[in-house]
A = this chain, B = another copy of it.
Amino acid sequence: MSHAPVPGPVDESVGYLLKKAHSALRSAMDHALRPLDLTVPQYACLEVLRQRPGLSGSELARAVFVTRQSMHLVLKGLERRGLLTRPAVAAYGKALPTELTAAGRKQLAAANRAVGAVERKMLAALTPTAERRLARDLTACAAALGDVPSEDEAEDRVER
């Protein structure tokens, strides 16, 4: 048989392995961050904000691959905990530039230690060369799928 669309064993499919690896990483990060009372999206938000201060909620959402509505809740929570601040009213437009507070930076540093350990554990099986290769291949895969995972998506190019 084997006409065409019968895929091989799932455990050989890149898609499946991608899901598996992501699931394992997510779980490990969750575990590592629990003592700090941070979820993965919260951590990701803080880290992106450290690298790119002043981002708006929508921009953060895109960087972390969630909707801006979800990010809105994350931001409200983190703001209430005093880990970040943003103006009550926009100086220009509607975007509210967000920044870490001292407490936020402190919490983030601890989180980075925990997450760093997880990532090192994950990459322990890879050589530095293999790691760079993996990073490049993953980037290529994401790019091939068109990036821009959420919202918009207005391009559903028919024809062709």
Residues in chain A within 8 A of chain B (CB atoms): 5-7, 9-10, 12-15, 17-29, 31, 44, 47-48, 51, 63, 65, 109, 112-113, 115-116, 118-119, 121-126, 130-131, 133-135, 137-147, 149-150, 153
Contacts and interface: CB of A to CB of B under 8 A. Distances in A.
Contacts of A22: 18-19, 22
21 contacts: A5-B113, A6-B112, A7-B112, A7-B116, A10-B63, A17-B135, A18-B22, A21-B139, A21-B141, A22-B22, A24-B145, A27-B149, A27-B150, A28-B145, A31-B153, A121-B144, A121-B145, A122-B145, A125-B141, A133-B133, A133-B137
Given A21-B139, A134-B138, 20 more contacts: A7-B47, A7-B116, A9-B51, A13-B119, A14-B123, A17-B142, A18-B21, A19-B44, A19-B65, A20-B147, A21-B142, A24-B141, A24-B147, A31-B153, A121-B145, A122-B144, A123-B141, A123-B144, A125-B143, A133-B137
A30 to B, nearest CB: 9
A25 B145 contact: yes
Contacts of A133: 133, 137
A9 B48 CA distance: 9
Given A13-B119, A143-B125, A109 B24 contact: no
A60 to B, nearest CB: 12
B20 A138 contact: yes
Chain multiplicity (copies) = 2
